[in-house]
């Protein structure tokens, strides 16, 4: 149940995505059983060039064996690189064919072809797109020259420090509108789907007035006239968290750490971690198939024994007092209650889901289930009504009330692949937004009855593809107190090539086509409208390791033979083990990373110096703080580095 690895694949590489995806459909008579569409999406524009991609989708009933994508770049634009395919150019025309490994696209499957373009003048999108000879947007070819109607009644409906919300009356078109161009101060800034009538323009400067206009496009690249112009100012920047006390310093305490690792709540005191943290997330609470929070004593399903039934002896408790058989509350919950008495400013959150227990969160988010789901979680964890299980005396109404200060949602992942067997639905994205709103509504209502506020947080992905698929960022951030952005498991032994698993930046020497980094992930959330002060960066108290690694370049970027042996699991090791492991340690300042190499083993992990540097990064980006996974891998020195670095 460790956090999910950030499983990297070439076809998941979407560098610099913005918040919007153009949606298109196509009919392809020559390939009726494998109906393909190709959807264009603009990424980051840096003034003299931009990144973009086409997402190819097979909406047919059989897999493809090959595909050919063609499009035309505007005059003054030049293709500067392309991945996930082989390409040729003839003037402004680009032809892309599948690589040897990605010709087959399963029914319902997608594949992203990314590319960079350099340009002079004004950025304009490609035209004349075809996929396997048919129109990319469903026009079926032909000589359509009729542009869409002009979008009407453009309005600026809201603003944050770095974004402005827009709405308009949709355009119409004889073949269908495939997208909208959104121009800021006279230049194309981003795009929105053809089905949209609103958008959030992100990546803006605080306290600055901008002018906006919108025009529509169809599958043949015909452009409407521009809408009316509107102006809107972004809000002034409040400087981020400001005083050090405002930074969130979060650590996950794992339910199962009390077993193999012998890591108890008491160790949060003796290691100094509790004094250095603002929040503890208790991992995890499970959700059943009917979409309800519950407790059980069943392997792989629930561990009520660890949560609230196990009686600890005096050597294992926060206050040195041993538990007795018939006390109403025991286990980790009781020790967390004692910990909060010792550290009254410390908040404890129940984290729901995780890599293993996200299986039925899609069910819980369904309209018919979400209100009851939220209510069941409030009843169990905030009201503390614990069921009697296995004949143990620890249970009853309200016995755990006051332990948890809120809910942390760790759904891995809405509308995207996670653990094997997870329920995944296309509508998870919208359902997740509604679920978060329902949590906010109910916990606020319950908090009002108690005269207090309960917090709502989440763990969210670094992968731009997963963000696009499952997260409506501006709407979500309005209801979250903060979210933790995954900043580790960027690489691991699931890749055969060694790399930094938690780098802040991807240096120029990084050979991996997808330049995964914490900075890329943070910028993805910022450009999609998340306030910096609500973003907490996830950092690891563990390392990822490879074995059979040659000594060239001291093991970095080399091909290994598999995962290195670990104390609890191959390919992974706790920081408090790695810090004492023999070998030579190397710094990579460009990546803000460290690695250990010895006898063919390569380990990527964070030490205290790296952690301190990361806290400087958090300050420079005016982020909300840091989260460490997980506390049972730390001897207290990493949490001390987090606390000291955010002073």
Catalytic residue positions, numbered: 412
3-state secondary structure of 351: strand
Q: How confident is the model at residue 42, as a pLDDT?
A: 79
Q: How confident is the model at residue 3, as a pLDDT?
A: 47
> Are 81 and 208 in a shared domain?
no
Note whether 318 and 348 are within 8 A (CB): no
Instruction: Judge whether residue 13 has pLDDT over 80.
Output: no
Give the residue from 420, 449, 481 where a domain finishes: 481
**Cα Rg for the chain, rounded, in angstroms?**
26
Q: How confident is the model at residue 1, as a pLDDT?
A: 38
**Global pTM?**
0.68
Instruction: Judge whether residue 524 has pLDDT over 80.
Output: yes
Note whether 608 and 615 are within 8 A (CB): no
Query: Residue written as tokens 């390919």?
Result: 571
In a domain, 303, yes or no: yes
Instruction: Judge whether residue 469 has pLDDT over 60.
Output: yes
Instruction: Judge whether residue 595 has pLDDT over 90.
Output: yes
> Are 78 and 222 in a shared domain?
no
In a domain, 277, yes or no: no
Q: Single out the residue of 446, 445, 387, 440 nearest to residue 409, CA to CA.
A: 440
Least confident of 162-171, 194-203, 260-269, 406-415: 194-203
In a domain, 1, yes or no: yes
Domain count, the chain: 4
> Are 433 and 539 in a shared domain?
no
In a domain, 173, yes or no: yes
Domain containing 205 equals 146-236
Q: What is the dihedral of CA 226, 228, 229, 234, to 10 degrees?
A: -110
Band (639; pLDDT cuts 50, 70, 90): very high
Instruction: Judge whether residue 195 has pLDDT over 90.
Output: no
Mean pLDDT of all residues in 316-322:
98
CATH (domain of 295): 3.20.20.80
Q: What is the pLDDT of residues 91-116, one digit of tens each?
A: 899 999 998 778 888 888 888 888 87
Q: Single out the residue of 13, 15, 10 nearest to residue 527, CA to CA.
A: 15
What's the token pair of residue 84?
Answer: 């996930």
Instruction: Judge whether residue 242 has pLDDT over 60.
Output: no
3-state secondary structure of 616: helix
> Are 136 and 195 in a shared domain?
no
> Are 50 and 99 in a shared domain?
yes
Note whether 30 and 54 are within 8 A (CB): no
Least confident of 128-132, 176-180, 497-501: 176-180
Q: What is the pLDDT of residues 19-71, one digit of tens each?
A: 333 333 333 333 334 578 888 887 666 666 677 888 898 888 888 889 999 99
Q: Are strands 134-135 and 177-184 parallel, antiparallel or unpaired?
A: unpaired
Query: Residue written as tokens 């032809």?
Result: 95
In angstroms, rounded to a whole number, what is the distance separating the alpha carbons of residues 345 and 340? 7
Instruction: Judge whether residue 618 has pLDDT over 70.
Output: yes
Helix, strand, coil share of the chain (percent; to 5): 20, 30, 50
Query: How far apart are the two ends of the chain, measured CA to CA in Å?
Result: 32
Mean pLDDT of all residues in 600-629:
96
Mean pLDDT of all residues in 462-477:
94
In angstroms, rounded to a whole number, what is the distance separating the alpha carbons of residues 623 and 266? 30
Q: How confident is the model at residue 135, as a pLDDT?
A: 85
In a domain, 558, yes or no: yes
> Are 119 and 62 in a shared domain?
yes
Q: What is the pLDDT of residues 328-386, one digit of tens each?
A: 999 999 999 999 999 999 999 999 999 999 999 999 999 999 999 999 999 999 999 99
CATH (domain of 557): 3.10.50.10
Give the residue from 86, 108, 142 where a domain finishes: 142
> Are 552 and 647 in a shared domain?
yes
The beta-strand segments (E) located in 86-234 are 86-90, 93-97, 110-119, 127-131, 134-135, 152-159, 164-169, 177-184, 187-193, 198-201, 209-218, 230-233
Give the residue from 142, 162, 185 where a domain finishes: 142
| Neighbour tally for 278: CB within 10 Å | 18
| Neighbour tally for 326: CB within 10 Å | 10
Mean pLDDT of all residues in 246-255:
97
In angstroms, rounded to a whole number, what is the distance separating the alpha carbons of residues 533 and 627? 14
CATH (domain of 150): 2.60.40.10
Q: What is the pLDDT of residues 134-168, one digit of tens each?
A: 888 744 344 678 999 999 999 998 777 767 888 99
In angstroms, rounded to a whole number, what is the distance separating the alpha carbons of residues 340 and 402? 10
In a domain, 276, yes or no: no
CATH (domain of 16): 2.60.40.290
Percent of the chain with pLDDT over 70: 91
Q: How confident is the model at residue 34, as a pLDDT?
A: 55
Work out the mean pLDDT of the chain and round it to a whole number. Answer: 89
> Are 522 and 634 in a shared domain?
yes
Q: How confident is the model at residue 47, as a pLDDT?
A: 65
> Are 296 and 408 in a shared domain?
yes
3-state secondary structure of 563: strand
3-state secondary structure of 455: strand
In a domain, 402, yes or no: yes
In a domain, 83, yes or no: yes
What's the token pair of residue 183?
Answer: 């121009």
> Are 437 and 463 in a shared domain?
yes
Band (241; pLDDT cuts 50, 70, 90): low
The C-alpha angle 526, 532, 535, rounded to 5 degrees, equals 90
> Are 334 and 315 in a shared domain?
yes
> Are 217 and 253 in a shared domain?
no
The sign of the dihedral angle between the CA atoms of 389, 390, 391, 392 is negative
In angstroms, rounded to a whole number, what is the distance separating the alpha carbons of residues 151 and 182? 11
The C-alpha angle 368, 375, 447, rounded to 5 degrees, equals 135
Least confident of 29-38, 118-127, 131-140, 400-409: 29-38
């Amino acid at each position: 149940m460790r956090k999910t690895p950030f499983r990297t694949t070439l076809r998941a590489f979407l560098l610099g995505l913005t918040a919007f995806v153009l949606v298109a459909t196509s009919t392809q008579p020559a390939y009726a059983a494998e109906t393909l569409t190709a959807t264009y999406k603009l990424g980051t524009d840096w003034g003299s060039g931009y990144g973009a991609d086409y997402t190819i989708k097979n909406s047919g009933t059989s897999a493809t064996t090959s595909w050919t994508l063609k499009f035309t770049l505007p005059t003054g634009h030049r293709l500067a690189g392309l991945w996930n395919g082989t390409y040729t150019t003839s003037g402004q025309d680009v032809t892309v064919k599948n690589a040897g490994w990605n010709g087959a696209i399963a029914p319902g499957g997608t594949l992203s072809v990314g590319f960079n373009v350099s340009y002079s003048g004004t950025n304009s999108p490609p035209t004349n797109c075809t996929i396997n000879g048919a129109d990319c947007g469903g026009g079926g070819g032909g000589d359509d020259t009729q542009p869409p109607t002009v979008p009407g009644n453009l309005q600026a409906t809201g603003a944050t420090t770095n974004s402005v919300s827009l709405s308009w009356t949709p355009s119409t078109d004889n073949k269908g509108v495939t997208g909208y161009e959104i121009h800021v101060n006279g230049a194309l800034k981003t795009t929105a789907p053809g089905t949209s009538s609103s958008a959030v323009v992100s990546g803006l400067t605080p306290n600055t007035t901008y002018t906006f206009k919108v025009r529509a496009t169809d599958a043949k690249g015909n452009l409407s006239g521009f809408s009316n112009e509107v102006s809107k100012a972004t809000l002034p920047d409040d400087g981020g968290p400001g005083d050090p006390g405002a930074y969130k310093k979060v650590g996950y305490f794992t339910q199962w750490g009390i077993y193999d690792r012998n890591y108890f709540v008491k160790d949060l005191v003796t290691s100094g971690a509790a004094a250095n943290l603002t929040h503890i997330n208790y991992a995890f609470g499970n959700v059943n198939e009917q979409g309800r929070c519950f407790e059980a004593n069943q392997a792989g399903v629930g561990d009520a024994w660890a949560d609230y039934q196990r009686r600890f002896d005096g050597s294992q408790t926060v206050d040195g007092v041993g538990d007795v058989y018939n006390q109403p509350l025991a286990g980790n919950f009781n020790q967390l209650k004692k910990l909060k008495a010792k550290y009254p400013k410390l908040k404890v959150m129940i984290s729901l889901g995780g890599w293993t227990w996200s299986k039925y969160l899609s069910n819980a988010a369904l309209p018919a289930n979400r209100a009851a789901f939220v209510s069941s979680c409030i009843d169990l964890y905030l009201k503390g009504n614990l069921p009697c299980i296995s004949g143990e005396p620890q249970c009853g109404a309200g016995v755990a009330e006051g332990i948890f200060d809120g809910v942390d949602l760790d759904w891995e992942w809405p509308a995207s692949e996670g653990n094997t067997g997870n329920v995944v639905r296309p509508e998870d994205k919208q359902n997740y937004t509604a679920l978060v709103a329902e949590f906010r509504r109910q916990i606020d209502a319950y908090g009002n009855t108690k005269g207090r506020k309960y917090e709502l947080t989440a763990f969210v992905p670094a992968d731009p593809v997963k963000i696009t698929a499952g997260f409506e960022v501006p709407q979500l951030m309005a209801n979250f107190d903060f979210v933790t952005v995954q900043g580790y498991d960027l690489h691991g032994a699931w890749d055969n090539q060694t790399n930094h698993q938690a780098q802040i930046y991807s240096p120029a020497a990084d050979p991996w086509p997808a330049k995964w980094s914490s900075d890329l992930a943070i910028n993805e959330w910022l450009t999609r409208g998340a306030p910096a002060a609500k973003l907490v960066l996830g950092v690891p108290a563990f390392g990822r390791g490879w074995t059979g690694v040659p000594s060239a370049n001291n093991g970095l970027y080399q091909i290994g033979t598999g995962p290195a042996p670990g104390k609890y699991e191959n390919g992974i090791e706790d920081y408090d083990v790695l810090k004492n492991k023999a070998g030579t340690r190397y710094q990579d300042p460009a990546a803000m990373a460290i690695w250990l190499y010895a006898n063919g083993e390569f380990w990527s992990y964070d030490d205290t110096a790296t952690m301190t540097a990361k806290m400087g990064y958090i300050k420079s980006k005016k982020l909300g703080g840091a989260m460490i996974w997980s506390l049972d891998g730390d001897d207290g020195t990493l949490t001390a580095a987090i606390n000291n670095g955010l002073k």
